[in-house]
Amino acid sequence: MFGLRRIASIGRPGPASVERSDADYYCVYWDANYAGRKYQFGGNNSSWADWAVFNDDSSSWNNGTSGMGVILYGDEGYSRPLGCLPAGRGWTLHRPNDDGEGNKGTRRSSASCSRVRNGWSPPARAVVAGPYQPLSWHAPGAEDSDDVQGDDVAARRREGYGGPAAMRPERADDPNGDYLRALPPDKAKAYGAALFGAPSHRIEVNLADGVAFMNADGCIAHAEQQLCGDLTRWSRAQMTVVNLAGEVSRRASDDERAARTLPLWRACMKARGFAYKDPGEARAAAFSAYEGVVGVPGGRPEDFDRVRGREISIAVADATCDARVGRTRTLRGLEAQYRRQVMGEHAEQISVYRALRRCADARLASG
């Protein structure tokens, strides 16, 4: 899952469940509890604007096979992260609701197992991911959000928004997915059931950002139970911690001090010939331009160079205006403030998470 493809298949409207969510996809639903029309995203998507689920999402499920997590974004261009779902996890209700505009895979989380479960044994060549090893939530990398790095003019002139890197496929990282896609439908369904388990064994935890769940009888749950013990306790702590960076980012973005910089940024960009509502929309426009030249039969190098030049022009103007109005400087200060606040509010779950991680590490070390 999450090779960088801009693909969404659309399921029929009506009652839904994760059993109808195909393995190898991030599945997003119009309604809570996996009801309504289903959208299956098979890659990173900087914008959902082409699909009706744009700002009309209520639940989702990470049904990917690579072990990667998925970040749901509230603004186009991978901006304003709303939540992170490790593999085999779902949100039965998004909070905030109807606010999603894009998604991206992340190495923040991975967990799976290779023992026989539900009558299905993964083949030897289906390499499973290692134990869950998240990035440090309080030091997010560039993959999490570009919002606090947006005033680096030199980097934008050199790299733009990283468009070419975003178009490179990552299929080599997902041998499980390669195997799954070669299976006949009945075997693929059995594989998904073995990896993720069944809804009849669901564990739910109520969090500030929504109601999260996992199925307790799948391979992912089995591996995590062996390492961490009580799945409900682990799931609550894990889902709290992996979503703290998004909570900090949302609070900073929603702060009126950050909001006051946007009209100034828009005016600066307009003076340079770019009319975007915010930096996320600017990034999304730059990324979407590649769709007509990358992977298209007969595509010409000069077309790619033209799109690349346009991306860098937008990115440099963005960073120049950002630095001029102090948007990123403001966000960095606000994130530092809200990070301390969020750490205090979730101190108990952070402590539980660290304790369970230490226990899991000890069990791994002991063999």
Domain residue spans of the chain? 8-254+335-365
Place 113 in a pLDDT band, splitting at 50, 70 and 90.
very low
137 versus 324: which is more confidently predicted? 324
- Tell me the backbone φ, ψ of residue 14, rounded to 5 degrees: 125, -175
% of the chain exceeding 70 in pLDDT:
77
Place 296 in a pLDDT band, splitting at 50, 70 and 90.
low
User: Rounded to 10 degrees, what is the CA torsion of 353, 355, 359, 365?
Assistant: 90
Quick: pLDDT tens for 66-87.
777 888 998 888 888 888 888 8
Inform me whether the pLDDT recorded for 16 exceeds 70. no
Residue 261's pLDDT is what?
97
Sign of the Cα pseudo-torsion (316, 317, 318, 324, in order): positive
Quick: pLDDT tens for 335-346.
999 999 999 999
Inform me whether the pLDDT recorded for 326 exceeds 80. yes
Inform me whether the pLDDT recorded for 96 exceeds 50. yes
Predicted structure pTM score: 0.73
Mean pLDDT over the full length of the chain: 78
Length of the chain in terms of residues written? 367
Quick: pLDDT tens for 170-185.
444 567 777 888 889 8
Quick: pLDDT tens for 239-267.
888 888 888 888 998 999 999 999 999 99
Rounded to the nearest angstrom, the gap between the alpha carbon of residue 172 and the centroid of all alpha carbons in its chain is 19
% of the chain exceeding 90 in pLDDT:
28
Inform me whether the pLDDT recorded for 129 exceeds 60. no
Q: Which of 356, 154, 120 is nearest to 237 (CA)?
A: 356
59 sits in which H/E element? strand 59-62
Q: Which of 7, 171, 204 is nearest to 91 (CA)?
A: 204
